[in-house]
Structure 1
Amino acid sequence: MTDLTAARRAMLGRATIGDQLRRHAQHTPEKEAIVYYGPDGSRSVISYEELNARVNRVANALVGLDVGRGDVVAVMSRNSVDYMTIWFATLKLGAALTGLNFTFTETEIGYQVNHARPRILMAEDVFCGRIEAAREAGSLASVEHLVCSSAGETEPPEGWLAFSGLVTGGDAAEPDIDVHEDDVAMLVYTSGTTAFPKGVLISHRNYLISTTPAWTLALDLGPPVVWLFVMPFFTIAGLGSMTNIINCGATIVLAHTIDPAAAIRIIAAEKVTYMAQTPTFFLAMTTEPEFRDADLTALQRCITYGGTVPSHMITAWQEASPGITWGTYWGQSELSQLGTVGWFSSLADIPGGDASWIGKPVPQLEIRVIDDNGADVEVGELICRSPSVMLGYLNDEERTAEVFRDGWLHTEDIVRIDGDGNLFFVDRKKDMIKTGGMNVSSVEVERTLYGHDALMEVAVVGLPDAYWSEAVSAFVVPKAGRTVQPDQIIEHCRASLASYKVPKVVRVVDALPKDTQGKILKRRLRDEYS
């Protein structure tokens, strides 16, 4: 009988991400893979053939540094062609990549590097000093080579290798490496809440047979798509989405740094058709002076995730580009981004008019909604099965066992399911507010707050309270030129919410803390105001 396992592992039939890049280079060599706007605003274009050759050179150079199957490469950089190159080069060697948040302090760098134990660490030139400080503190013991990525003529620090030297010094031939589809490709770290971040282990197979096909079917992702990319590569949304786009042979429009105004200009110039970001970024774009006059009509699909969608955001975009179809997306690192998606052109298209709608599961995802006893219910925890489920958490069998129970991945997200299989996000378990013996969804209160026409952004958390245990507390940012009083906001909420859900405290603030994707950092609000 034929050894099917060996056949799968051989280049003959394996499912690895690096192989997919090689296929695109063969089938569509001149197709634009990357349109890149550098730090100085200069525009360059890299074809699939050029990208694959560049990746091969770096992969072969890494072989010369003894990087191989099972090793880890770490990167601390803003989005760049160098980042994409070392990602695919790492994959072609059977090694894994872990991205460091470029806002990390030396202590945070030390934790992730000591946990992931990379042999190679590449940093953008402006971050090399921080890496050096972490090394001097004794945090980079596993790192054998430091590599500096520079967009200009900056010389690498003493003892560092120049990434440009890897590009020019390596052979462009395809690396002949025994890479397995079950090898770890990504080591993505989740955001820490009450504990240290967890390292999520994701294989090549997860993307090739599950997540990418799901995006092809559910997001209609293919070669004609021109995607403006604004998600940082150190996140699963960033690294995973970029991988899906390249797997499908589409074009990525990438900027070294991007803000809402720059995004507007690039969409118009490049005739961008797809874009994905948090609601806060899309909302910020609507406040830019260029927004109303820019030609955004090429945009076909805008996908949003990670926050409540304000109705005034959708209204503003409808006026600017009436042809846009909006996507609401839910996914998790532990599912290799896989999840649920729903499409709408206007708020009237959303089932029941409920803005907490996160669509329906993609074909590769099986779900249940359960209570604490494991019984199927209308409102409860979402649990999942899929070929996209992670391999586990790095060096953490206990927390892996906590989420892998009874043959399901437990997401710790509370959802509601209706009779048609539509899912509605209620809250993260940790964000549910327990007040006076009742549970309150912070998301529900936020949706009500967004109904006030003077508010631009809102966040709701539970803060410690001697009487209520947790007091429902709202933080609100008024629109430009508008003023609000806390008692007005409380009265607005009383008109739509049961009394126990109405905020006990409203704080009017100039801005809300956000991460690099624009997600509101509720943890920071709880820490600062508790």
Structure 2
Amino acid sequence: MGVDLSKPWFKNYPEEVPRSIEYDKRPLQDFLKDAAEKFPDKVAIHFMGKELTYEEVFNSAKKFASYLQGLGLEKGDRVAIMLPNTPQSVISYYGALLGGAVVVQTNPLYTERELEYQLKDSGAKFLVCLDILLPRANNVKDDTDLEHIIVTGIKDYLPFPKNLVYPFIQKREYNIVVKPEHKGDTHVWTKMLEEASTDYTAYDVDPQEDLALLQYTGGTTGFPKGVMLTHLNLVSNTQMSRHWVYKAEYANEVVLGILPFFHVYGMTAVMNLSVMMAQKMVLVPKFDVDTVLKLIEKQKPSLFPGAPTIYIGLLNHPKLKNYDLSSIEACLSGSAPLPVEVQQRFEKVTGGKLVEGYGLTESSPVTHSNLIYENRRAGTIGLPWPDTDAKIFKSDTLEELPIGEVGEIAVKGPQVMKGYWNRPDDTANTLKDGWLLTGDMGYMDEDGYFYVVDRKKDMIIAGGFNIYPREVEEVLYEHESIAEAVVAGIPDPYRGETVKAYIVLKDGEQLTEEELNQYCRENLAAFKVPKLYEFRTELPKTAVGKILRRKLVDEEKEKMKTEEANSTS
């Protein structure tokens, strides 16, 4: 890869981590085939008591590919997957790739509005979704390119008697019962697997050029953009991960799969890495502290990629000391800054290692991480990964800044995206001479450790979810009573940041917080809905009328400081 070995971070690399890697220039789906051939009887997935071997997962993926090709799937067609962490999410992901498709990961929490936008933008012809999401999918289908919907349910992979009980639990929790029929353009997962053969057409794949994934992200302005990630992008970042956790043994680890696979971090650090290393994945479709603590004690995972809110949730459980978490050996935390005290407490409780990493959807996603087993530096995002170059640029130029000076973090490496789907201008603004401009402000110290100090972007990271103010503001501005609105991320001790909306009503209009909250819940995924609302007569603006979002955030921080000072005096 032509790595510059004079970079300061390499002096901190242990012998076990290579500076450069010889990447497998193969399609991503080949690694599932490898695992199935080498370890056909090894458990690939544990899901709520049900276990599937690598041979079973691979055979089901081949059936999925064959069935979709029978419906007309061709190389390059987009297949949207709208599932939580279930066996179906793994099978359909690799099955779509086997069939020559490009996967479009879709958040199951999306409202109709958000789903319709993503399906339209990606041009997806196929959608895999849970039964309870079928009404949502059917409502937008006619306004998109969707031709077929494959419907599955949590109960499809539950062991007896859970599979009989679950529909009643589902009705109680979601107040919905859907019984899809296997006909026309609606296809029932269990019927599909019964009917399909394992014979499919394998297309030639150019790993460096052919897309494996369209992963949507919001960027600085406007609606979400489809990040084009090639097979090589994903393979290289997964192989980097494998070398970073160098103490993990091939086919001998258990990985806890809490991070959602529809998020690129969970997809790479849990699903793709587990398959590449033939590990057992313990899938968690919905984060629940009690469930996870019991799973850790019973399944004894050794690798636990997560986000700060997950670790905080476990640490704050009143009966934490009743559970044995000593199986955990290594945890890489991403999606949001990891508080030092959380790291220290978690390591004390488990005896394992917890370190902070950094990345973006546009980089598949990891570019930096602290070393897991040695030379860690708390409060930093760590060191660039193998074959990953990183620099601090003067904002808006490609002038490199000296050590210690704050500028924009830029990265370059084989994991960096091909560009944004159908958005050449956005691509040109983000990729400069091969460098990915992250939009994050930071600096590098003399030892090659990187620090993030602020976000150039307005993006809010709440509980590990990326929330783009513009999306929320668009919804608020559509309300007939609202004259002006601005959304900002304000500090939150648990979620990192939380969403707050500042509202100016039209003259003579009245609107309660409860009414506004209900409106937002009907038009936004739950994690994007503002947690706080403040009604004002005016908003701070520049001379040309631009609302000063940063001033509102600064006001909140000052208010919190004052409240903290008053509470301790």
TM-score normalized by structure 1?
A: 0.77
CA distance in 2, matches of 1:307, 1:285: 17
Name 1:516's counterpart in structure 2: none
CA distance in 2, matches of 1:485, 1:424: 24
Q: Deviations over 1:116-139 (max 9, x none)?
A: 01111111001111112223xx42
CA contact (8 A) 1:459 1:475 kept: no
CA distance in 1, matches of 2:77, 2:560: 56
Matching of residue 359 in structure 1 with residue 359 in structure 2 = no
Name 1:216's counterpart in structure 2: 242
Return the match for 1:487 from 562, 565, 569.
562
CA distance in 1, matches of 2:220, 2:110: 15
Name 2:71's counterpart in structure 1: 65
CA distance in 1, matches of 2:212, 2:283: 22
Q: 1:327 deviation in Å?
A: 1.8
Matching of residue 240 in structure 1 with residue 244 in structure 2 = no
Which secondary structure does the structure 1 equivalent of 2:416 belong to? coil
Q: 1:105 deviation in Å?
A: 1.2
Which secondary structure does the structure 2 equivalent of 1:470 belong to? helix
Equivalent runs, 1:116-195 vs 2, <5 Å = 116-135=122-141, 138-140=142-144, 142-152=145-155, 155-157=179-181, 159=184, 160-173=186-199, 175-181=201-207, 182-191=209-218, 194-195=221-222
From the superposition, tell whether residues 473 and 303 of structure 1 become closer, same or farther in structure 2 (CA, over 3 Å): farther
Amino acid at match of 1:74: A
Name 1:22's counterpart in structure 2: 33
Amino acid at match of 1:489: E
From the superposition, tell whether residues 460 and 130 of structure 1 become closer, same or farther in structure 2 (CA, over 3 Å): closer
From the superposition, tell whether residues 460 and 73 of structure 1 become closer, same or farther in structure 2 (CA, over 3 Å): closer
Q: 1:456 deviation in Å?
A: 5.2
Aligned identity (percent) is: 25
CA distance in 1, matches of 2:27, 2:328: 31
Amino acid at match of 1:211: N
Q: Any unmatched runs of 5+ in structure 1? A: 1-12, 38-42, 434-448, 477-483, 496-530
CA contact (8 A) 1:458 1:474 kept: no
Name 1:50's counterpart in structure 2: 56
Matching of residue 91 in structure 1 with residue 97 in structure 2 = yes
Which secondary structure does the structure 1 equivalent of 2:320 belong to? coil
From the superposition, tell whether residues 350 and 389 of structure 1 become closer, same or farther in structure 2 (CA, over 3 Å): closer
Return the match for 2:362 from 321, 334, 351.
334
Q: 1:432 deviation in Å?
A: 10
Return the match for 2:257 from 214, 225, 229.
229
Amino acid at match of 2:61: V
Return the match for 2:328 from 299, 308, 321.
299
Q: 1:100 deviation in Å?
A: 1.6
Amino acid at match of 1:300: E
Amino acid at match of 1:314: Q
CA distance in 1, matches of 2:154, 2:124: 24
CA distance in 2, matches of 1:30, 1:267: 23
Name 1:31's counterpart in structure 2: 42
Root mean square deviation of aligned Cα: 2.9
Query: Which has the larger displacement, 250-259 or 51-60?
Result: 250-259
Q: 1:151 deviation in Å?
A: 3.2
Q: 1:415 deviation in Å?
A: 1.6
CA contact (8 A) 2:411 2:435 kept: yes
CA distance in 1, matches of 2:234, 2:297: 31
CA contact (8 A) 2:336 2:496 kept: no
Name 1:506's counterpart in structure 2: none
From the superposition, tell whether residues 389 and 260 of structure 1 become closer, same or farther in structure 2 (CA, over 3 Å): same
Q: 1:343 deviation in Å?
A: 3.5
Which secondary structure does the structure 1 equivalent of 2:155 belong to? coil
Amino acid at match of 1:150: G
Q: 1:247 deviation in Å?
A: 1.6
From the superposition, tell whether residues 147 and 31 of structure 1 become closer, same or farther in structure 2 (CA, over 3 Å): same
Name 2:399's counterpart in structure 1: 375
Matching of residue 275 in structure 1 with residue 356 in structure 2 = no
**Runs (4+) of structure 1 moved beyond 3 Å?**
151-155, 173-176, 191-194, 343-346, 455-469, 473-476, 490-493
Which secondary structure does the structure 1 equivalent of 2:562 belong to? helix
Which secondary structure does the structure 2 equivalent of 1:240 belong to? helix
TM-score normalized by structure 2?
A: 0.72
